[in-house]
Amino acid sequence: MFISKLDFWRALTNKVVSQAGADVFMDVLQEIIAFFAADQGYIYLFNSNDQLLPLACYPQEITEVRLSENLRRYISNLNQVTIYTDDTVCTDQGCQQEIMAMGYATLAFAPIWKQDKVTGFMLLAWKESHRFKRDDDDLLYTIGNLLGIGLFNAHLIGGMQIREDELQTMCRALLKAKEEEAKRISRELHDEVGQDLTTIVLRLKMIQGQNDVEIIHDDVKDLLFMVRETLADVQRIAMNLRPSALDNLGLLPAINWQLDQFRADNQVEIAFHHPPKLEQLTEEQELLLYRVLLEILTNISRHAQATKVNICLQQAEDLLTLQVDDDGIGFDLEGSNTLGLGLMGMKERIKEQNGTFLLDSKIGKGTTVTVAVPMKNPGGMKV
């Protein structure tokens, strides 16, 4: 059935625009082969090492056409449609012989452009001599551009799908982390504060029936101590929810307070390097850095088996950088779930602040976490 070039072009464009994924290139290639009455067709892409990777081929039972390394290099430098027939003379004699040895009477190479760069090519092959119509080479060149647009769209759609999957994973992780945090707070309130308050109530009831003033005095003294301990527990739980030290003292004193607590609970030597004074940060930025450091220290305490931790907080122009190094056992970045739920949430919040989160670790070589946050307020002005 005869089809005009305009109808053919419309059909190709609709396929590229309406479809996503690798299947679109197979469908487009079949349309191209049918229009040009070719026997075989191939779409190749160059990877980051300039190696050719087959993206689509038709007929499908033919996996790929074999191209020598010399011929691949020659083709990679083609930036326009190139047609070879029985009487074509190739500028590279070695390539000329290889093209003739491929067993085709006619070959057409069309570069695939993606953002002003040749990122692959389409190859059409005819077993018999093929006579091209006027402007066919222009059409092949335009098809190469269209395939490049398809690649770009596939890349964007693939990136969006990956990002959507990441967000779904993050959402599930954050919900789980929130549930775990709620359970932890509930457990602390029940096991510590709740039991202490129950004991205090029982002791008060016992005092009601006591007539000995000396015994009452001793019991009240004990109860006063218990009330103070319970109050300290409540303050500690509240501190973990929203550190009052951040509001009252600022980021550096709050960090130092937490490091004192960490030293008391862990046999770890900690060095904290920081400027004498930090420029003013937003409350959200202070809380973010504080939370990130606490999460890192928690992971070190649970998993790292470290003896030394080095913390460096630096301020350079518009950037605040936090780097934490430990000499622990480290882990394989490729072979493990590198981020716990807490750090996954922190990483997402850092990205919301236009910051960066970097994690580096090797087995037996410790772990380094680096966080950089721009010192700008939500309106974009320096603070």
User: What secondary structure does DSSP assign to 62-131, as a single string?
Assistant: -------HHHHHHHHT--S-EEE-TT---SSHHHHHHHHHTT-SEEEEEEEESSSSEEEEEEEEESS--P
Residue 203 CA to its chain's centroid (Å):
56
Structure tokens that stand for 13 in this block: 């464009």
Better-scored residue on pLDDT, 237 or 144:
144
End-of-domain residue from the set 160, 184, 202: 160
Q: Is the pLDDT of residue 382 over 50?
A: no
End-of-domain residue from the set 211, 240, 269: 240
pLDDT digits (tens, 9 = 90+) for 85-99: 766 655 555 566 676
Q: Is residue 172 part of a domain?
A: yes
pLDDT at 52: 67
Supply the mean pLDDT for the chain: 76
Strands 308-316 and 269-273: parallel
Better-scored residue on pLDDT, 381 or 271:
271
Q: Is residue 355 part of a domain?
A: yes
Among 352, 345, 343, CA closest to 370: 343
The residue ranges of DSSP E strands in 290-374, in sequence order, are 308-316, 319-326, 356-361, 367-374
Query: How much of the chain, in percent, has pLDDT values that exceed 70?
Result: 70
Q: Is residue 382 part of a domain?
A: no
> How many domains, the chain?
3
* Sequence-ordered alpha helix ranges (H) in 190-310: 195-208, 213-241, 244-248, 251-265, 283-299
Q: How confident is the model at residue 47 (pLDDT cuts 50, 70, 90)?
A: confident
- CATH number of the domain to which 46 belongs: 3.30.450.40
pLDDT at 232: 76
Q: Is the pLDDT of residue 183 over 80?
A: no
Name the one residue in this structure whose structure tokens are 């090797």: 362
Q: Is the pLDDT of residue 177 over 70?
A: no
Distance between CA atoms of residues 19 and 14, nearest Å: 8
Q: Is residue 206 part of a domain?
A: yes
My answer on whether 230 and 249 are in the same domain is: no
Length of the chain equals 383
My answer on whether 136 and 41 are in the same domain is: yes
Q: Is the pLDDT of residue 315 over 80?
A: yes
Residues 6+ apart with CB under 8 A from 253: 245
Distance between CA atoms of residues 169 and 289, nearest Å: 23
Mean pLDDT of 39-65: 72
pTM of the model: 0.42
* φ/ψ of residue 295, rounded to 5: -65, -40
**Beta pairing partners, 110:** 122
Residues 6+ apart with CB under 8 A from 114: 148, 151, 152
My answer on whether 185 and 125 are in the same domain is: no
- CATH number of the domain to which 288 belongs: 3.30.565.10
pLDDT digits (tens, 9 = 90+) for 107-165: 888 888 776 778 788 888 888 888 888 788 888 888 888 887 777 665 544 544 555 56
Q: Is residue 381 part of a domain?
A: no
